Amino acid sequence: MPGRAGYPPFEAPGRTLRLGAKGAAVKALQARLKELGYVPGSADGRYGGATLTAVWAFQKVQGIKPTSTVAARTWRALENPRAPRVLVPRGKATRVEVDLTKQVMVLYRSGVPVLISHISSGSGVPYTEYAVWNGKRQVFSGSARTPTGDYKTTWRARGWHRSYLGQLYNPIFFNGGIALHGALSVPLYPASHGCVRLPMNVAGILPGMLGKGVPVHVRGAFRR
């Protein structure tokens, strides 16, 4: 019998996994996460950073406090998973939803979540940064917020893109200078200047899945 929300059945190995674990149970975890729309990297049986951020995303969607340990509660949720909460019920069939409360991004195609990722959005801490930009040393300041609202994807860059606030990997802009982009640090709390940080492996595949002019809906607020 299919599980909740019509997902294929899955029998959890039941073995407690921690970061650095290897073997068949890790491979089963990776395959199940991928099947559900998460991005754990290759199913190589090694519990590394890409699998960790996919586990975090899954746990957050299921209402489980994110942790690197995959134990009984997470295994049970993998057997009977819930879909991400829809933020824009009347949104277009192809769209991106950014949940600032849970720190999760979902890409929908034909109304189905096909990519679900852990994110780190704007920290909300005002900043003042000095950088050499256009040949001059300049000062930049802001509120480090990721504004809520309804936007659309605009321009993008391939590979590392230098902005006056740092390096963005494969950025896809949707609100002025605010983009979905890969970063080397995507912690379990909002930490950016306002962009939506993604794990590097997610940013590597997202441009091939997300076109120009696609709606991006940003909702919620993170509570520390």
* Active site members: 181, 195
Residue keyed to tokens 């979902």: 106
Q: Is 176 exposed, middle or buried (0-12, 13-18, 19+ CB in 10 A)?
A: exposed
Q: Which token pair is 41?
A: 């990297």
Q: CB-side exposure of 61: number of CA atoms within 13 Å?
A: 31
Closest C-alpha to 164, from 138, 182, 198, 126: 138
Rounded to the nearest 10 degrees, what angle do helices 49-62 and 24-35 cross at?
Answer: 60
| 3-class secondary structure, 55 | helix
Give the closest residue to 164 by CA, choosing from 189, 139, 127. 139
